[in-house]
Amino acid sequence: MHQHKYALELIADLGLSGSKPVDYPIETNPKLTTSEFDACTGSSDDTLLTDLGSYQRLLGKLLYLTITRPDISFVVQSLSQCMHIPKASYMEAALKVVRYIKSSPGLGFLLNAHCSESLSAFCDANWAACPNTRNSVTGYFVKFGKPKGTYMQAANEVSKRDEMHWTRRQTSDFDP
């Protein structure tokens, strides 16, 4: 399951067909700060976007792509936290995500008809990962058999616990 055609249309609509693809959707430790944070620290290096609609539409399209592209879900979720007052650096980061998608527009999930009855869960956490808020970020991936998977990232303990309880309830119907 992939969105190859949608990804290619997004690249063409943004005029990035001739741009060079990148290997990563975002740099390590990006300096994406909110305008409120900049006001508190006295930093004025970044300008606010004048066209909010173009940024919001682009993020909406990227959110739609996360259905089949969990590799971009973290960066898209991070960029969507400042939809109300985006800055130029956020638009540049969003365009970099599109250039990352250009490197493999057909990437998606492989749904296999032959399913093994195994349950796998993977989790990773980064303590105080956000350089601005020092919040921790946790991501997990739960897979039943080969074809299905649930990918989730959570920034706080309550939502992580709720999602894991939901996953446990969903998988309790399967009899080994």
DSSP 71: G
**Model pLDDT, residue 127:** 74
Amino acid (1-letter code) at residue 1: M
pLDDT of residue 147: 47
Domain residue extents for the chain: 4-103, 119-171
- Band (140; pLDDT cuts 50, 70, 90): confident
Q: Is 157 left (phi over 0), alpha (psi -120 to 50) or beta?
A: alpha
Alpha helices in 32-156 (DSSP H): 35-41, 52-65, 73-79, 88-103
What is the pLDDT, as a whole number, of residue 28?
A: 76
Tens of pLDDT along 55-105? 999 999 999 999 888 889 888 988 998 888 888 888 999 999 999 999 989
